[in-house]
Amino acid sequence: MNNILSSIIIISLLSPFTKSQSEIELKKIETNRNHDPIGLVEKIDSILTLKFDNGILNGNVLVVQKGQAIFKKSYGFADADKSQKLNENFRFNIGSVYKEFPAVAIMQLKEKGALTLQDKLGKYITDLPKWSDSISIIQLLQYSSGLPKINWGEHFSNGEMVTSQMIYDDLKAIQKLKFTPGTDYLYSNYSPILLIKIVEKISGQNFKEYTKQNLFNPYGLYQSKISDQFPYKDQTLMAIPFNEKFEVDNYKISIPSILFSSTVSDMYKWFKYLDSYDIISKESVKILSQEAIIGNNIQAPLGSFEWDNDLAIEHIHHGSSGNYECVVRRFKQKDLTIVILTNQKHGNVYEISQEILELFKA
């Protein structure tokens, strides 16, 4: 990946740097502009700068084509008091995109013969109610288990720190599923949490260790991190979420297995290696791209994945958490990836990615 990223165009709103550093960056930009005959850099920047100026973009954007980052820029601030400008090294919570990691870990264990997707939840987690014996791993992956949504609002409204134990106690208190497993779809955060517990049970590692050893380090995701809690104890290179009034998100959560944060470069690496079948096999990727039922807003474990017969066309995943919002889109046959990570939510990251994509169709 070092060779791939060595040609990156870096156009960032950084904190002030030295004259020599500035000259180096400007030279990189000018050199790459000479290889940009249709002015893609200027066109993308024009779109994004207008959105930043209008107060509807605060985050980092990366566009990679054929292994070369042709656009990479930061817009706005890393904190609500505007004391730090964003740069390419800042991490953002990736919201629901984190759910790809336990899903891929499950498939790694399947490929090793450590489990089958038809195994029941109760085989690995023994202190849950009787319904755990009716839910299979594949149903957890596809959100067809019948488990309800987590009642985040009730916990957050009390101003309390929401812990892993509290969520698990809520889970154990469920007496009846919403529907018979495998007959319907309900997007529940209980699913990835239980998948993580299965991974921990089989591997003998906590999920942070498993992820670092098997999903982060082998594929160069060295800037990605799983935090212990939000608000973050260590805010080093963390983009802090805030609303349009520049008020910091005020919820409190301590569930270390789900607080994933990453950079635009690491998200590119993850999607590239995953969709190149380096992390898990093509067969496993196909399984994780399957939706439980046909309908609108139905997610697969990998978000949304379009195939044309045996060819992977587009892998897209949108995520949000509080005022964090992101989208990653990879078009394998075009070898094009668009990553947008923001820490001020405007509900527009997909639309922004689409505007960028249209420039490549012109």
Parallel/antiparallel/unpaired status of strands 253-254 and 162-163:
parallel
Determine phi and psi for 297, rounding to 5 degrees.
Answer: 55, 35
Give the pLDDT score at 35.
59
Q: What is the pLDDT along the chain (362 residues), one digit of tens a residue?
A: 434 333 333 333 333 333 333 333 333 434 354 556 569 999 999 999 999 999 999 999 999 999 999 999 999 999 999 999 999 999 999 999 999 999 999 999 999 999 999 999 999 999 999 999 999 999 999 999 999 999 998 888 888 899 999 999 999 999 999 999 999 999 999 999 999 999 999 999 999 999 999 999 999 999 999 999 999 999 999 999 999 999 999 999 999 888 999 999 999 999 999 999 999 999 999 999 999 999 888 999 999 999 999 999 999 999 999 999 999 999 999 999 999 999 999 999 999 999 999 999 87
Q: Which residues contact 230 (CB under 8 A, 6 or more apart)?
A: 93, 249, 251, 252, 253, 254, 259
268 touches 64 (CB < 8 A):
yes
Task: Decide: 75 and 164 in contact? Cβ < 8 Å.
Answer: no
Query: Domain boundaries in the chain?
Result: 92-361
**C-alpha to C-alpha distance for 216 and 169, rounded to whole angstroms:** 30
Task: Choose among 221, 194, 220, 49: nearest CA to 136.
Answer: 194
Which among 312, 314, 313, 316 has a CA at the least distance from the CA of 302? 316
Q: Which CATH number fits domain 92-361: 2.60.120.1130, 3.40.50.620, 3.40.710.10, 2.40.10.10?
A: 3.40.710.10
**Measured CA distances, 300 to 159, 285, 291, 346 (Å):** 32, 11, 5, 24
pTM value is 0.89
User: Which one-letter DSSP state was computed for residue 215?
Assistant: I
